Structure 1
Amino acid sequence: MPEGNHSIVTEFFLTGFPGLHPEYYSLTSAVLFLWYLFILIGNAAVLLLFATNRCLHKPMYYIILNLCACDILFSTTTLPKIISKYWFQSGTISFNACFVQMYFVHYLGTVNSLVLFLMAFDRYLAICHPLRYTNVLTTSTIYILSFTVWIVSIAAALMLVIRAYPLPYCASNIINHCYCDHIGITLLACTDRAPYGFPAFVLAMFALVGPLAFIVFSYCSIIIAVRKIADLQGRLKSLSTCSPQLIIISLYYLPRCFVYLASNVGITFSPDVRIVTIMLYSLSPPMINPLIYCLRAKDMRECLQKQFHRRTTPHKV
């Protein structure tokens, strides 16, 4: 069939977890709903903590705010639809809505990756170039970098949608996933997918490999710089300031790298295992990140303790 908008598909059907027995639909929807609720509460709490404590108005925490906002938006983009599938047996999504969801999935994924790049840049300057840190990473600089991340990410995701939307979809309308993404949609097109897979590859290189390369470089530089510190206590203190970001970055990148490498060395997964793995590495970090901020970031932990102490201490008359 020639290319062009000759689609006869008007809606798509999300399979969710293909092997899931219907008797577990209610339990699955409840677990996903609680997961979504924990993500919203945890990240909203971090945003509230930042808003009510001026001591947190530092470059590192401004970057964390971007990650919180991205986590809330990504989970809101992906979870409500799959929850409704199992809660109300509503697995269909309209043609246009699917492409809107696809756009935000890739847009927010790119934003997330670039925000992690900013995290690594923050720690790199703080430890490797401490004398230049306050001059380079000012509040206005963080505003500009954060704004740039959210704006630059628009073009990459928009390119995927513009390329995929006009394709002819005239066969199956079943997407083997919990949400619409570029691969899941374009596999259903009645045309050669190869020319449309290359832009997705370029986006992956830009959004994942580029920031990851700098992150690896920055933490190698940090390790070299820390090894030069004579005092053991000083080494541990420097490394402790990196631990929250390093845990967050590891949660985001390690599972993705594992899945990518496994697929390239011939390790195959069943559809259920593949989808569960993708859901875990996509939606576990948004739920775990607030705990990491509050337990590992010293300033945030102290502010949280003060807030808790203020609420539990009775006021004197």
Structure 2
Amino acid sequence: MSDSNTIYFTSPSSFILLGIPGLETDHVWISVPFCIVYAIAILGNFTILFIVKKEPRLHEPMYYFLCMLAITDLVLSTSILPKMLAIFWFNSREILFNTCLMQMYFIHCFTALESGLLSAMALDRYVAICHPLRHSTLLANSVVAKIGLTVMLRGCTSIMPVPFLASRLPYCRSNIISHSYCENIAVAKLACADIRVNSYYGLFVIFSVMGVDIIFITVSYVLILRAIFSLPTKNARLKTFGTCGSHLCAILSFYIPSLFSFLAHRFGHNIPLNVHILLANVYLLVPPMLNPIIYGVRTKQIRDRLLPLFTHKGT
């Protein structure tokens, strides 16, 4: 394994994940907050799913999309953290080539799904505020199911070429990935061939998926704000805008870390590698933890259903 930097090969059987380069001695301590974040994400998202299933009043488009978001968050965080903890705790750094490609697909696919679901939730807020009398008609259960299916198909198909392109590269430099999970460009950089296609396609996916979603969300909220400011009283404006608070917080918690990580990865050449890797972990692990907290605290219907669970346990 020590000669892996000098061995030449075209189809490696496995890769070696370094975790967070430069911070190897601190891996155990770094794992503690990651474990806490993951535990909160698992508990919170399963709680959201349980409450929405048990409470008939929550069988509405917004909460259906929230359940889809919770499932996406569970898969996204689970796709990276177990292997990361194996690296941190047991120094189990080896990952099979096909497993690496699978992890790469799941990470990028479910990131695209999360972006699409936030866009769908923006549509729900637009219809609820700008066309409240037609909300149940425009967003009937069948329409919600079609939107969810469209988001899923878009995410799955747009990411499909990413592991395929990575699998066709000849790897002759090294099988050591300076990352804590199999990220597209981090793997492609190990190839001894031109990786511009991989890089350009990655950029295409970012702009055609997340870029389009950001534009759609922005336009939705411009129309929402225009409708809110047309309301006659300040209380009515504040109350209506308050219904968007949870969604806005979820948008910020997802897009700000991911955008910062993307910009740092592409243009922050002076930023230390361990900072890059930490940012890449934060933008995948923190939103799954924050989303159920945001909706649990800010959404009255969920909060009212959640409080009795704790009061009953305490009695």
Using the size of structure 1 for normalisation, the TM-score is 0.91
The answer to whether structure 1 residue 210 and structure 2 residue 191 are counterparts is no
Post-superposition offset of 1:147: 1.9
Is 1:16 equivalent to 2:14 in the alignment?
no
Aligned positions of 1:175-254 closer than 5 A: 175-254=177-256
The 1:56–1:66 alpha-carbon spacing in structure 2 relative to 1, beyond 3 Å, is same
Aligned to 1:275: 277
Shift of the alpha carbon at 1:292?
0.7
Structure 1 segment 55-66 matched on structure 2, within 5 A: 55-66=57-68
Shift of 1:132: 2.2
Are the aligned partners of 1:252 and 1:281 in contact in 2 as well (CA < 8 Å)?
yes
Identity %: 35
Distance in 2 between residues matched to 1:268 and 1:101, nearest whole Å: 28
1:161-209 deviation per Cα after TM superposition (whole angstroms, max 9, x unaligned) = 2222111111111212111021111111110111222221111112210
1:1-317 matches, within 5 Å, as 7-22=10-25, 24-261=26-263, 268-312=270-314
Q: Which AA in structure 2 matches 1:172?
A: S
**Does 46-55 or 250-259 show the bigger shift?**
250-259
Structure 2 gap ranges (5+): 1-8
Relative distance call for 1:263 and 1:100 in structure 2 (3 A) is closer
Native 8 Å contact 2:264 2:271 kept in 1: no
- DSSP 3-state at the match of 1:172: coil
CA distance in 2, matches of 1:262, 1:72: 26
Q: What CA distance in whole angstroms lies between the structure 1 residues aligned with 2:50 and 2:152?
A: 21
Q: Distance in 2 between matches of 1:12 and 1:151?
A: 29
SS at match of 1:46: helix
Quick check: 2:185–2:198 contact (8 Å CA) kept in 1? no
Cα distance per residue 1:205-250 (max 9 Å; x no partner): 1221010001111111111111111111110111110000000001
Contact 1:262 1:268 in 2 (8 A): no
The answer as to whether partners of 1:29 and 1:84 remain within 8 angstroms in 2 is: no
- Name the SS of the counterpart of 1:248 in structure 2: helix
Higher deviation after alignment, 108-117 or 255-264: 255-264
Distance 1:164 1:14 in 2: 16
Partners of 2:262 and 2:198 in 1: CA distance = 19
Over the residues paired in the alignment, what is the CA RMSD in angstroms? 1.8
116-125 vs 142-151, which deviates more?
Answer: 142-151
Distance 1:86 1:124 in 2: 44
CA contact (8 A) 2:254 2:283 kept: yes
Amino acid of the structure 2 residue aligned with 1:217: V
- Supply the AA of the counterpart residue of 1:225: A
**Letter of the 1:122 counterpart:** D
**1:176/1:266 Cα in 2 relative to 1: closer, same or farther (>3 Å)?**
closer
3-state secondary structure, aligned to 2:95 = strand
| Equivalent residue pairs, number | 307
Alpha-carbon distance in structure 1 between the residues aligned to 2:81 and 2:267? 31
- SS for the counterpart of 2:303 is helix
Q: Tell me if the contact between 2:265 and 2:276 (Cα under 8 Å) persists in the aligned partners.
A: no
CA contact (8 A) 2:264 2:276 kept: no
Task: Look up the equivalent residue of 1:201 and give its one-letter code.
Answer: L
Indicate the SS of the match to 1:12.
Answer: strand
Q: Is 124-133 or 279-288 further displaced after alignment?
A: 124-133
CA distance in 2, matches of 1:251, 1:266: 21
